[in-house]
A = this chain, B = another copy of it.
Amino acid sequence: MIFSSKLIEDAVQEFSRLPGIGKKTALRMVLQLLKMDEQEVDEFTGAVSRMRHGIRFCKECHNVADSEVCVVCVNPGRNRNQICVVENIRDVIAIESTQQFSGLYHVLGGILSPLDGVGPEQLNLSTLHQRVKNNEVSELIMALSPTIEGDTTVYYIARQLKDLPVTITTIARGIAFGGELEYADEMTLARSIAKRLPIDNYVTMK
């Protein structure tokens, strides 16, 4: 693409570094920013800049935070006996958005994946061990992806903590609400039959 302005070319270049954004989409965004008031664009760049420079990671759970400890960990209303272990911040946002979980989180910052060079030392595992050891944590809920890497990470953590008095659970796998049986993959369907629930249980869970 040939832009007749270096300023626009640079901005398009920067936008196309973002995930899923090609040159054409980047140009559409840049032209939209060009239509906005200068003040609105300053708000845009200001928000991005403040976010990048101001963001911190919670020293307790490694979630994103605006101060030393994140809003979840600092909230006295949360159940400190339950810790939900997740891969990344996006998972925290997804679970928080359900408004059904009242415990704390622990963000691993990835999952074990030897092929990608991610070993135990790259993950926030030692702090997890410390938290379980030093605090009254009765349950660790593993909310990791249902992949080989995810399962490996679950087993690794379970072995690491086997001498500590903590129950380790994983989130339920099965057919999604609104999902059609015929489109479910065989493994999910087989597992959802094997791990079937009594009706009473099902009704109360809903």
Contacts and interface: CB of A to CB of B under 8 A. Distances in A.
Contacts of A29: 18-19, 21
A31 interface: yes
Contact of A51 (B2, B33, B92, B99): B33
A8 interface: yes
A134 B131 CA distance: 79
Interface in A50-99: 50-55, 63-66, 70-72, 89-90, 92-93, 96-97, 99
A47 interface: yes
B99 A2 contact: yes
Interface in A1-40: 1-8, 10-11, 13-15, 17-21, 25, 27-34, 36, 38, 40
20 contacts: A1-B93, A2-B93, A3-B93, A4-B64, A4-B65, A4-B71, A4-B72, A7-B50, A7-B64, A8-B51, A11-B48, A14-B47, A18-B33, A19-B28, A19-B32, A20-B25, A30-B48, A33-B51, A41-B52, A42-B52
Interface of A: 1-8, 10-11, 13-15, 17-21, 25, 27-34, 36, 38, 40-45, 47-55, 63-66, 70-72, 89-90, 92-93, 96-97, 99
